[in-house]
Structure 1
């Protein structure tokens, strides 16, 4: 049996603060987007990832990797976005077993309308609270954690 490596006082403080960020940041981003654009953060992020794809189209598996989502979670969100007219699903011509998701013109308009407020929230909650050096450190810290959380590098964020 291995002995437990308890957290030092500094490690515990760091962990408690980081946990608070993990809890508070998603709710703050959701609140801004729901209030301003009637979209959750994940719905916005899904639209944004499609907006950056060539032809604004991705296979669901590629979209899942870009949004850091499981296929079942993504499927539920795509259904909601499809009902709103923001995306359309179709069979993938290269692989009839796969499904493509396309950002519609209404979806493009929605992501364009939502982007300024979202960028403002990201700056307000995260980036403007940090120095340029801390932003670089946060990127490096996030990359180090992603190596453990996504060891196979399946998520787009793991590639950056």
Structure 2
């Protein structure tokens, strides 16, 4: 599929550069955030995942079948490990892998402000050459303009 070549549906070089720069910056920030999360201790990873899931300590504790004080002590680093069954329930409730919660290995789920599709798109977009990124940007712009015209 080729992007139309009329002036209304093509982006200028500066607009293409702006879009590409924004996408690259977003991807860079997301990768740095994941790298920082990997270095966190169990306590911090659980707290981070709980906050991203929008759960209070009391709600997470209830859903995992543990006392709120146990979860509080866990997030404060006073407890360094969990029973396997508790870890699995917490992992399921938070939508994270047990490996990531325990060791920081693997990937955490994408940012809640971005869907998995959007995250994967940015990763793939980053793999393209500058010329290919311009083509994709023009195609997306063309689709948006066509949708606006149809309304």
Q: Quick check: TM above 0.5?
A: no
Larger radius of gyration: 2
Higher strand share: 1
Greater relative contact order (CA < 8 Å, ≥ 6 in sequence): 2
What TM-score do you get using the length of structure 1 for normalisation? 0.30
